[in-house]
Amino acid sequence: MKEPLLWFVLIGILLFAVDRSRAPDAIIVNTAVKSQIATLWETQTGTKPGDEALDSLVHDWVREEVFYREALRLGLDREDTIVRKRLVQKLGFLARSVDEDSITAEDIQAYYKVNIADYTLPVRYSLSQVYFKNAAQYDALMQLLNAGDNWMEVGDGTMLPLRLVKKTEREIKSTLGIEFAAQLAGLRQGVWVGPVTSSFGFHIVRLDELTPQTQRPLALIENQLIAELLQQRREQSLDDYYQELMDQYEVVYE
């Protein structure tokens, strides 16, 4: 009886026997569980399950619960990257919980003022352009335009748009190129100007309208502001929760 090894073996056998004899927690299938299963099914399919269908769903739920509990008992959730990420995502979702009703009209107004630059439309250009391939064509084309010929029938055929309406400088760059956009400052409203060069060739351009920088009215983007303000508060809530948790943990870098 004084042999440590013998005691170690006996204690091990006892613990094994207790573990094997201990019944797992009962899986309770009550009215609340059935109602939750039926509601989830209705949400996914749009129809309520009949009695036979509900019995089948409950059977599947019990099967899933048994496998879930056994997986936890075997420790399959530990050191699993997928489970780890899923749990972190779920906790993050809970930590981001923010009541939309907590956002007041004053909050929206203040957020709008602070971020007004994000809701300001830049200068936009409306212009018409005549495209031609050879620089030597310029004088003849200008004469036709000044004589009042139909500008849409003047110049060479092209897949480029002949008219752009209320486009920003960035949009013009994406359509007609950086070189063309760099010459926008030289355009004159209502007057044909050229030759304007681009990577495609040559253009004669008329500025039809210049729309100045304008702020989007709060009333038109209120829903967008609420959504963005909610997202900002959710991220702040998550950061605050993280800082609160960090006070409870010691991080050691080795």
> And the tokens for 213?
């920088």
**How confident is the model at residue 11, as a pLDDT?**
56
> And the tokens for 200?
């495609």
| Residues contacting residue 189 through CB under 8 Å, at least 6 positions apart | 207, 208, 209, 210
**How confident is the model at residue 14, as a pLDDT?**
54
Q: Which residues of the chain have pLDDT under 50?
A: 6-7, 10, 18, 20-22
Beta strands in the chain (DSSP E): 120-121, 124-132, 163-168, 192-198, 201-211, 214-215
**How confident is the model at residue 13, as a pLDDT?**
57
**How confident is the model at residue 6, as a pLDDT?**
47
Pair 138, 204: CB distance under 8 Å:
yes
> And the tokens for 140?
């003849």
- For residue 154, the one-letter residue type is V
**How confident is the model at residue 250, as a pLDDT?**
79
